[in-house]
Structure 1
């Protein structure tokens, strides 16, 4: 008797192991299977239905079981489904793209079987009624842009205030050496004029001429002397 019970127990364990192996080898859609191949299903997983011993995908989108929220549509997948967003041109839809809209969103209108953008700028000249602004169309809407040289402030396009660039004067970039040359030229012109008048025998202008020459010579020698002294002190 013990040997008989051992045989029965062994056979039961073997059958259980065989069933477990067969269950492990079932196709992805089968919950349990049997028969000559793993597609011969005895029961199906969720999202599948048994038909002639085979599990067939359930199209949840053909039923009311999907429960997708508003402005989305049901997209069937193997053994399940997804809720995907409608096109931006749609308020509600039956599928992907602007041609599957049930109703058009604001800024769009139905043209044939498709929701298309409304060009507010082309249809309404007063869409941007303010001065110095113009309309710019975009998908589903538009905006008002200020003209060049203007910016929006307090809801109104106002001229941009620019600071005038400082204009350089005639002598702004002049160097010290150039100033000295100009001074010498100026004194030279004065001396020439005085010399001309002195040559005519006018004693007043002769005196002025001689004084100017003396002053010019004194200035020149004084300036040269200062430079020479500075050079000596610096050791050059």
Structure 2
């Protein structure tokens, strides 16, 4: 009887331990890579999680990029990670690529050209073609492109560089661009017209207009001789 009683106590104690202890403490904890296993070690895997495959009783990472199962969109490349993969963007110099950097391009993007084994920026400003034809603008290169910038004191309006008006600026008048000699010719023409009109009236016997005509002739002659005399004297003195 004592042996039977001891057997009952042993079974009861075992059942109590099994019920009171938490299940993970007595169950096998599989490796992170295993879906089912026969022990704690990775080498006891019976089935692998997604992204891993069973090889000689242990799970190894599946290289989705090498297996070409990633399905990454265009202008990206596949980057393998532990148990998975990522689709990463190509370098700005590339249209399509096999990895990171301008040396892994399949084709160069606009503004780049293949030099050696990689795509490099084209310096449009240094090319023979004049990309900024305006007289008051200059070319500024940037990665993959360029832009035309107006010179200092100018701004772009309607596609061309125009001077920026200042506080003291004003619109040009009709005679602002005339040279001194041209102004003198216009003055002589004006006085000639006046003299002709006065001469016509004086020819009709009007004494008033005759007097005005004679005075105007005398004034013009005096001005002409005075101006010529000043120029002659100025030339003489400067020539000394």
Quote how far apart the aligned CAs of 1:63 are.
1.5
Q: Which residue in 2 is equivalent to 1:32?
A: 36
Q: Give the direction of change, closer, same or farther, for the CA distance of 1:73–1:36 in structure 2 (3 Å limit).
A: closer
Separation (CA, whole Å) in 1 of partners of 2:26 and 2:96: 48
Q: Which runs of 5 or more residues in structure 1 are unaligned?
A: 166-236
Quote how far apart the aligned CAs of 1:19 are.
9.8
Q: Do the aligned partners of 1:26 and 1:39 also contact (CA within 8 Å) in 2?
A: no
Aligned match of 2:92 in 64, 85, 88? 88
Q: Which residue in 2 is equivalent to 1:111?
A: 115
Equivalent position SS for 2:126: helix
Quote how far apart the aligned CAs of 1:146 are.
0.2
Structure 2 counterparts to residues 9-158 of structure 1, below 5 A? 17=23, 21-22=27-28, 25-35=29-39, 37-158=41-162
Equivalent position SS for 1:99: helix
Q: Which runs of 5 or more residues in structure 2 are unaligned?
A: 1-7, 170-240
Q: Give the direction of change, closer, same or farther, for the CA distance of 1:41–1:63 in structure 2 (3 Å limit).
A: same
Q: Give the direction of change, closer, same or farther, for the CA distance of 1:26–1:157 in structure 2 (3 Å limit).
A: same
Q: Do the aligned partners of 1:71 and 1:93 also contact (CA within 8 Å) in 2?
A: yes
Q: Do the aligned partners of 2:30 and 2:39 also contact (CA within 8 Å) in 1?
A: no
Q: How many residues align?
A: 156
The normalised TM-score by structure 1 is 0.60
Separation (CA, whole Å) in 1 of partners of 2:150 and 2:157: 10
Separation (CA, whole Å) in 2 of partners of 1:95 and 1:121: 30
Quote how far apart the aligned CAs of 1:124 are.
3.2
RMSD: 2.6
Quote how far apart the aligned CAs of 1:38 are.
4.8
The normalised TM-score by structure 2 is 0.59
Q: Do the aligned partners of 1:30 and 1:39 also contact (CA within 8 Å) in 2?
A: no
Equivalent position SS for 1:121: helix
